[in-house]
Amino acid sequence: MTERDGIFAGTDPFVIAGRWLAEAEQTEPNDPNAIALATVDPDGLPNARMVLLKEIEADSFVFYTNYESAKAAELEAAGKAAFVMHWKSLRRQLRVRGTITRENGPQADEYYASRSLKSRLGAWASKQSQPLSSRTALMADVAKVTAKLGPNPPRPPFWGGYRLTPTEIEFWADGAFRLHDRFRWQRNEPGSAWHVERLNP
């Protein structure tokens, strides 16, 4: 793997991913941690939406959502998901596929507490993915929650995190004449050794 140097260098894909994200935080104008999260519904029809990646751990990626949302239902049913991060300013992207588990403990409590008060109250008020009669109705629900829970609301029992533990990670960088550089890291299961190979553009 003598070609895998420069931005691709390293023996740990999570360290490389963290390094790329840190670079993107210096160049992307908005939400450098945005990911396009892909799931499938019970009929196998794909679904995708943007969410914010909140942590790159030693062996996984963590994001947060409402457990009663459409995405959560699909994550729970399949137990698998994929995402792509694309940084236009860097001309790079990261693709990840793997298994899903909940993060519903102290780590989720800590992240929830770090959010702004309005975001914490909004998490209580929003019945995510359910039909809504009007924005006025939503704001009325926010007002009710604010009056009820006050300035320090606890994390809702229906809101928390998901951890995606990958079996495949691909690092992609733009190349001249569309001859892009792609390196795919694969392993049979979490914790097993990675196999790295270069892919055709």
The catalytic residues are 178
The number of beta carbons lying within 10 Å of the beta carbon of residue 186 is 16
Q: What distance lies between CA 64 and its chain's CA centroid? A: 8
List phi, psi (to 5°) of 66.
-80, 125
R_g over Cα of the chain: 19
Q: Alpha carbon of 65 to those of 62, 108, 114, 151, 161: distances in Å?
A: 10, 10, 15, 21, 6
